[in-house]
Structures are given as structure tokens and as C-alpha cells.
Amino acid sequence: MTNGSGHPPLRSAVIGAGVISAEHLRFLQRSPAARLVGVCDLSKVLARYAADTYGAESHYTDHVQMLEQAKPDVVHVLTPPHTHCKLAADCLKHGTHVIVEKPIAPTNEEFRILSTMARWQNRALTEDHNYRFNEPILEMESLVSNGVLGEIREVDIRMALPITEKGGGFADENLPSACHHLPAGALHDLLPHLCYLALRFIPPVEQVAARWDKYSDHPLFAHDSLDAVLFGGGVHTRLRFTSHQAPDCFTVVVRGSKGWVETDLFQPYFRLTVPRRAGKQLSPLANQWVNGIAMAQSSVTGFVNKIRKNTPLEGMQTFLSRTYTALRTGAELAVTHDDMDQTTQLMDALLAEENRI
Amino acid sequence: MRLLVTGAAGFLGRSVVAEAIQRGHQVHAMVRPATDVSALAWHDDPAVTLVRADLRSKNGLAEAVKDADAVIHLAAAVGGDLYTQLMGTVVATENLLDAMCETGVKRLIAISSFSVYSYIDKWSHTVLKETTPIEPRLKERDDYCLTKVMQENLVREYADREGLQLTVLRPGIIYGRDNLWTACLGAQAGERWWIRIGAGAKLPLTYVENCADAIVLAAEKQEAIGQTFNIVDNRCPSHRTYIRLLRKRLSPSPRVIPVPWTLMRAICRMAWIANRMFFKGDGKLPSILVPARMHARCKPLRYSNARLRKTLGWSPRYSLRDALDRSFSVPVLREEAHQESEASA
């Protein structure tokens, strides 16, 4: 049976039915490119809930059993980060394509082992870089590739999230998150977003200087702040994570020789400052007008998004859609081995002793 | 009896442990690993053994459960997003049930909630009792209702499959010191203004110490096995009466904005129609504008505790006025009470 595009839907399965699974399962439930054949979680009741809610054909508590019985073509690994490599390897051994939540591996070395295994098995392996596929980022990439901003000179990416505050998953002392055992502690779960976004706009990184700090007295956290500067090809890049600023934000600013563009992925808006047709004298005024109107439109869009339950994870649907198209047509994946290799390399570089300030 | 009480450091758990000690039981009080127990009046009582465990993980649960004659399961997540509540209520219960099955502990007193009932299909002013249907349209209700229904279904499934001696208790609104406001009354607009929805509708209140008494009684009585009981105090007060009694005891007294139930129901209906028209019914609106949730909070119904009184011989120890007096009184620490009694001796 095909879905009209000439390709039969892929048999899909999910390992891990926690909070992030909802976004993946929503895609799998709606997409004609996928047929959800199994959901697996250590908790039977959670696996059953996910299967019932999203229409999976079966549910399991043992991923090997699911791989053998449900025989999926593609598996989404959505478990805590420290389990990603082991589960992805098991899936590859069973001949399935694998989509892994970030971070795919704690280090570049471990990623490369997984990557080699995928190539050897001739199976696709990809990591969720969802924010790369949010509309404002796709628009930014388009502006850069069309030369609207000129030569890229600076990139500034900043995330502020109160991860050390009581009530958050990372701050839970009763059942500490496994992320605290990753090389960068809990920040390791968030920094891939900053890294893969930066890598979309900058040439190869030549030098890294990173300052890791801890400002809270929370016993679980090794760090709660990162301020890093990257240099390469004449481009200065700043990556900043903080848990001590409010409100929450995830801003991306790209500055070029002709103009600059700015967005916030948590409260989306788009501000583009470039030379306008009105000429050099009137361009500042035109930019203010145009951006003022765009900001007002963003406030309406933000309100509608809230009612529609659209979240900043909107890019994941695009990422998954492109990934499934690639899997079915043999085209290049939306997130390639090179993308993952560079991201894990940059994570390693941020953590390397010799790069620390 | 040796009773294992989960959620022992919670609002209800503290009273359940105190009640169980008072009745001469040995209590294994399960608290989370990071809980500061020094504020718990009974933390150093010789009848209490503190058990530190998090039910979201299976680690150490079999060891914690193994010597119990009965488990009183109170632990649940009362806030957070859906997955926080799934983990804290449903997965936690699954882990506890697995530990009970592993160790052969059979007696379970599971604390459910009034939120599991279906309200929107029920006629106003009729009696809500144990036979009232469980909510079938869970997508229209909140995450708390969904997870409590899942939890109740889970314990019943295990009871059938593993031969557990199950009692399900569904308390109404539990009130007491620091927990006197309820969303069923309406909404709080700051500290000085209360929006009261409805006036004559009854509140299914149960004072925390009365509720604890019913729970321990259910653990003691053989007649409770296989039964489901609602827990509400006698003579439930109306919204108007309860707010009047609260305001009397508060200084400065908050001002009340009354909103008739019929008006609120009409507003809710319009919001529902707008949601259908503009968002295909998938829009996220405040709870107060979602009919199924609004009915669950504020619908004028009557409540009965007849089954609990008749089967277990329970009657609430404290009247509404006594309970409010106790809730507003200055708390006396156990150490202080002990010193006072020594001094008087």
C-alpha cells in the first residue's frame, strides 16, 4: 500500500514515551509517510497511554522485543541522553534507520563509533536539530544564502532558562536527572541547540574560548552558565547560556556586512535591519516602520499560537517531515552525519580544558 | 497494623500518619529523598519509621513495602504539566503496585478523587455518589482528572489480576490549615478580591483530619475491602456560607464579586462555540471557559457520604466551624505540647 507518493509508509516505532515523545508521536499519528507500529517504555502504563493516545499498533516494555516483533523500518530514540548510544546501536544492529533526540552522544568519539556503525549497516542515522527548522531560522538562512545580509561577521546566540529553579526537571533532588552525569552536566542537554544553530551561519571554527560558571548553590549542578566565544574565517560568534536572567529567551542574532537580523525562538518575532529601497537617508526610518509592523503582527501570532497550543518546538514537525521524505526517497537527510559530527566536535571543544577561560 | 503511607509529608499524609499513630498503628512513612522532615510533627515518634524513596523510580520500593500489612497510597502529583503528573501519579502507582506484587503485600487503600466523576452529563441538584459514572471524555478535562482516572483504572486492573484487597477512597475537597481556598469556589483576583461562581451550590468539603480518620478506618475494617467510598463531611456548606465563614476569620476580609452559575455557564458555552468555529475545538482556553472543567468545578450538586457512614460506621469528628477554628488556630508543635504537659505535671 502506498500513500499516493509512490512510496509505502515507513513502519515507525518509538523508544521512550516521556515528554518529548508527544511531539514525535503527533507527527507519526498525522503523517501519511509513517505507520506507527510500536511504542516502548520501561513503564507499561506509559507505553500503553502513548499507544492508545497516538494510535500505535502495539506497545512494549522491552525495546529488543519490539524490534523483533514489530519489525520497524525506523525507530525514534527518545529516552534520557545517557541511553542514546546503546539504544541507537541496538536499533542499527536490527537493521532500522534511527532518529535520535539530542544529544546523540556525549562525545564526538562516541558519535563517530555510532556513525561508522550506521554506514556499515547502510542505515540512516540522524539527530533531532529541531530549532534549525523553525520558521525564523529557515528565513534567516534564506537571507544569508541570498546575500541580503552581506558577508557574515558576527553571530550571537543566547538562551536563558531557569534550570536551577525548584520545580524544574533538572533541579529535582528527589530523582536527579541522568543529564547531570553528562560531560557538561545538565547543560549538555541544552547546548546542542546553540551549537547546531551557530554552525548554520559560521565557517569552520578555529579558536574557542569558553567560561563555565556556577552561580547557584544547587548541589546537583556542575555549571549553570556558559559564556563562549568562537573565532573562525573572520566571524565572531558568542554562545551564551544563563539560568539567572529573566524572562526565558532563545535569541539568535546574525550580523553581516550589509545588515542584521534577530529573532527569539521562544517568543517568535523577526527583526530585519538592512538597506531599504527608500535610500540610505530614509532606510533607518523604513526599518523602524517595517519592524514595528512586524512586531505588532508577532504579538497577534503569539496569542493565536498560545490558543492553538503551538510551541517553540514547531520546527520538529518540519525536521521529521523532511527526514521521512529523505528516508523514503533516498535523498540527503535533513540533519547529516557532518552536521552531527561538527556539533559534537564543537561541544567537545567547549568542554576542552585548553579552551577554558 | 503496620501501615505504609506514601505521600506522608503531603497535606493529607501528615494527618493520616498522625491519625494512624494515635490509633496505635506502626507507620512506615514514605517521604521523598530530599524532604525536610524536621517540620513534620511525628518525624521522631517511636511509632514512625521514615522511608525515603521516590515512587517515580523502582529503586528501593520492594524493600520499603515488604513488611507492611497494608499500604495507604496517597502520593500523587497535584501540579505540573501532563508528563509531570503522569510520572508522579500514574507511573508512581505502577511502581508501587509492582513492588507490592513482588513482596506479596495484598492490602491497598488507594486515594482517588472526586475529580474522576463525569459532571457535565449530570443534572444540577442531583446527588453525586459512588455509582456516578467516571468521566468518559478525558480530553475535555484537565491533566489531574486524566491521571487520577488512569491511576484508579490501574489499581483496579492490578487488584483483579493479582488478587489485591483493594479499597478506593474518593475524597471531595480536602481543606485545613493553609488549604482553605478551592478553585471550586471561583477564582482569586489578588489577595483582596474573590470571584465567587454560584451561591447556593454545595461544596463537597472534607476537613483534613476527618478525611484522615476515614482513611485509617478503611485500612482497619475488613468491610472496606472491595469497596469504593466517597469522603465528604456531613452537611456540605454552600459556596455562600463557606465564603462567609472564611471572610469572618480573615483580616482584612476579601471582597467578593458574585457571578451567577447560569451566567458563567452561558459564557462557557459561548467560548466553546467560538473554539469550535475558529480553532476546530482544539484551542487552549483557560479552565474556567471549558464547559467540562467548569461543570466539574462549580456545578450545583448534592453529595452523599451514606455508604461510608453505613459500611464503616464513620462520622466526621469535626464540624465545619470547629474545623475552621482549628485551621485558623496557632499551630502547637509537639515539642511545645510535650513541655507544657511536663510543666503541668
* CATH number of domain containing B70: 3.40.50.720
CA B237 vs. chain centroid, Å, equals: 18
pLDDT score, position B198: 87
- Our CA dihedral for B250, B253, B255, B258, rounded to 10 degrees, sits at 40
Closest residue in A to B286 (Cα) is A307
* Alpha-helical regions (H) of A72-134: 84-93, 108-121
* A132-315 has CATH 3.30.360.10 classification: yes
Supply the DSSP string of B98-136, one letter for each residue: HHHHHHT--EEEEE--GGGB--TTSPTTPEE-TTSPBPS
Q: How far is CA B21 from the centre of its chain?
A: 20
Residue ranges in chain B assigned as alpha helix (H): 11-22, 61-65, 82-85, 92-103, 143-162, 208-220, 239-249, 261-279, 291-298, 306-312, 320-328, 334-344
Query: Which bin fits B321, alpha (ψ -120 to 50), beta or left (φ > 0)?
Result: alpha
Cβ contact B90–A49 (<8 Å): yes
Ranges A107-111, A203-207, B92-96, B282-286: which has the least confidence: B282-286
Angle, vertex CA A349, rays to CA A347 and CA A351, nearest 5:
75
CB within 8 Å: A175 and B90: no
Alpha carbon distance A73, A36 (integer Å): 10
Q: What domain range includes position B222?
A: 2-175+204-234+302-319
CA distance A310 to chain B (A): 10
Q: What is the pLDDT of residue A4?
A: 52
The minimum CA-CA distance between A94 and chain B, rounded to whole Å, is 29
Does the pLDDT value for residue B11 go beyond 50? yes
pLDDT value at B330 more than 90: no
Write the pLDDT tens digit of every residue in A94-142.
999 999 999 999 999 999 999 999 999 999 999 999 999 999 999 999 9
| Residues A308, B81: C-beta atoms closer than 8 Å | no
- C-alpha of A152 from chain center: 23
Q: What is the pTM of this model?
A: 0.92
Chain A nearest-CA residue for B285: A307
Q: What percent of chain A has pLDDT over 70?
A: 99
Calculate Rg over the CA atoms of chain A.
Answer: 21
Beta-carbon separation of B91 and A19 below 8 A: no
The answer to whether the CB atoms of A45 and B284 lie below 8 A apart is no
- Of B301, B323, B315, B291, nearest to B114 by C-alpha is B301
List of chain A residues with pLDDT < 50: 1
- CA pair distance B33, A339, nearest whole angstrom: 41
Q: What is the ipTM of this complex?
A: 0.91
Which of A19, A175, A308 faces B56 most closely, judged by CB atoms? A175
**Peptide bond before residue A183 is cis, with ω within 30 degrees of 0:** no
The three three-digit cell numbers of residue A182, written as one number = 553528562
CATH 3.40.50.720 residue ranges for chain A: 10-127
- Interface contact flag, B91 A174, Cβ < 8 Å: no
* Helix-, strand-, coil-residue percentages of chain A, each rounded to 5: 40, 20, 35
Residue B164 DSSP SS3: coil
**Nearest residue of A to residue B32, measured between CA atoms:** A174
Shortest Cα distance from B83 to chain A (angstroms)?
Answer: 6
Task: Determine the straight-line distance between the first and last CA of chain A, rounded to whole angstroms.
Answer: 58
Closest-CA distance, B285 to chain A, in angstroms, reads 6
* Rounded Cα gap, residues B174 and B163, in angstroms: 30
> For chain B, how far is it from start to end, CA to CA, in angstroms?
32
CATH of A10-127, one of 3.30.450.40, 3.20.20.70, 3.40.50.720, 3.30.870.10: 3.40.50.720
Contacts of B90 in chain A (CB under 8 A): 45-46, 49
Give residue-wise pLDDT tens across range B144-169. Answer: 999 999 999 999 999 999 999 999 99
Question: Please, which pLDDT band fits residue B199 given cuts at 50, 70 and 90?
Answer: confident
Amino acid present at B156? R
Q: B279: which chain A residues are within 8 Å (Cβ-Cβ)? A: 307-308
Interface of A to B at Cβ within 8 Å reads 18-19, 22, 43-46, 49, 167, 173-175, 306-309
Indicate where chain A has its CATH 3.30.360.10 domain(s): 132-315
pLDDT band, residue B339 (cuts 50/70/90): low
CB nearest B34 (choices: A18, A45, A173): A173
CB contact under 8 A, B56 and A46: no
For residues B99 and B89, give the distance between their C-alpha atoms in angstroms, rounded to a whole number.
Answer: 15
CB count within 10 Å of CB B180 equals 17
Rounded Cα distance between B29 and B43, Å, is: 9
What is the interface size between A and B, counted as CB pairs within 8 Å? 44
Coil, helix or strand for A236?
strand
The count of domains in chain B is: 1
Residue A94's alpha-carbon distances to A28, A42, A58, A88, A101, in angstroms, are: 21, 20, 18, 10, 19
Chain A residues lying within 8 Å of B78, measured CB to CB: none
Q: Say which DSSP state A222 is in.
A: S
Rounded distance between C-alpha atoms, residue B99 and residue A98, angstroms? 34
Q: Which of B231-245, B280-294, B317-331 has the highest mean pLDDT?
A: B231-245
Candidates B30, B36, B86, B151, partner chain A, best to mutate (most A CBs within 10 A): B86
Whether B254 contacts B215, CB under 8 Å: no
Of B94, B279, B285, the CB nearest to A43: B94
Contacts of B262 (CB under 8 A, 6+ apart): none
Chosen from A79, A166, A174 to mutate, greatest number of chain B CBs within 10 A: A174
What is the predicted pLDDT for the residue at A7?
A: 79
B54, B90, B284: residue with CB nearest A306: B284
In a domain, B263, yes or no: no
Distance CA A351, CA A349 (A): 5
Answer whether A275's CB lies under 8 Å from A287's CB. Answer: no
Task: Please say if the pLDDT value at position B258 is more than 70.
Answer: yes
